[in-house]
C-alpha cells in the first residue's frame, strides 16, 4: 500500500470508464431506445474538485449517450472519448495520451470489466478499479477501491490522490 500511496502523489490525470465505474453498471431501457443511467453525486463533486485543483479528467468509454455527454460538459470534462467498440478502448486511450503528450506514469485509470484490461494491464499507469470489478480486472489493478462502481469508487481515488498531494478540501 505504501507504493500505491507514493504513486497517488505523482498523478496529474484521471481517466475513467463510465458503465460500472461512474455508474453502477445498471442500464434502464426506455421505450424511446435511450438508456437511462444514474451517477453518484459524491463522485460528481470529486470530479469537480479535481478539475478546480488543476487535474486533467478524461473519459474513455464505449457508452455513447447524450445524457452522459451533457453531464460531463456541465462539469467541464473536456477530454471525452466515447462511442467506439468496447474492444477498441485501448486505441482511444493511446490516442489521448499521444494527442496531449501525457506521461503514463502520471495517469490513474479506473475500469471495471474486460474491455478495460488492455489499458489497466499497462504497467506505467496507476491501474485502479471499483470493489465490484470482475476478477480478471482486480488481478491486474494496483489499487482496488473499497467502494463499488457508481457508489463512490471515483470519489475514493480522487480523494486519495488529492490528499496525497495536499489538495483535498482546500
Q: Is 17 annotated as a binding residue?
A: yes
Closest CA to 15 of 123, 90, 87, 84: 90
| pLDDT mean over 126-155 | 97
Q: How is residue 82 written as a grid cell?
A: 466515447
pLDDT, residue 88, reads 87
Residue 146: C-alpha distances to residues 33, 70, 129, 153, 170 (Å): 34, 29, 9, 7, 24
Q: Is 21 helix (H, G, I), strand (E, B) or coil?
A: coil
Q: Is 112 annotated as a binding residue?
A: yes
Q: Is 100 annotated as a binding residue?
A: no
CATH 3.40.50.1000 fits 1-165, yes or no: yes
pLDDT digits (tens, 9 = 90+) for 64-121: 778 888 999 999 999 999 987 778 899 999 999 999 999 999 999 999 999 999 999 9
Q: Which helix (H) or strand (E) holds 48?
A: helix 41-52
Amino acid at each position: 500500500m505504501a507504493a500505491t500511496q507514493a504513486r497517488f502523489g505523482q498523478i496529474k490525470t484521471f481517466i475513467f470508464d463510465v458503465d460500472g465505474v461512474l455508474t453502477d453498471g445498471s442500464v434502464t431501457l426506455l421505450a424511446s431506445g435511450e438508456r437511462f443511467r444514474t451517477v453518484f453525486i459524491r463522485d460528481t463533486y470529486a470530479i469537480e474538485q479535481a478539475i478546480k485543483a488543476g487535474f486533467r479528467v478524461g473519459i474513455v468509454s464505449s457508452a455513447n449517450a447524450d445524457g452522459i455527454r451533457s453531464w460531463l460538459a456541465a462539469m467541464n470534462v473536456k477530454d471525452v472519448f466515447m462511442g467506439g467498440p468496447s474492444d477498441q478502448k485501448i486505441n482511444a486511450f493511446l490516442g489521448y495520451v499521444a494527442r496531449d503528450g501525457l506521461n503514463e506514469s502520471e495517469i490513474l485509470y479506473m475500469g471495471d470489466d474486460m474491455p478495460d484490461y488492455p489499458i489497466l494491464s499497462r504497467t506505467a499507469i496507476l491501474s485502479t478499479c471499483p470493489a465490484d470489478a470482475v476478477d480478471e480486472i482486480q488481478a491486474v489493478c494496483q489499487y482496488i477501491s473499497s467502494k463499488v462502481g457508481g457508489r463512490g469508487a471515483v470519489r475514493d481515488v480522487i480523494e486519495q490522490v488529492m490528499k496525497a498531494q495536499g489538495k483535498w478540501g482546500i
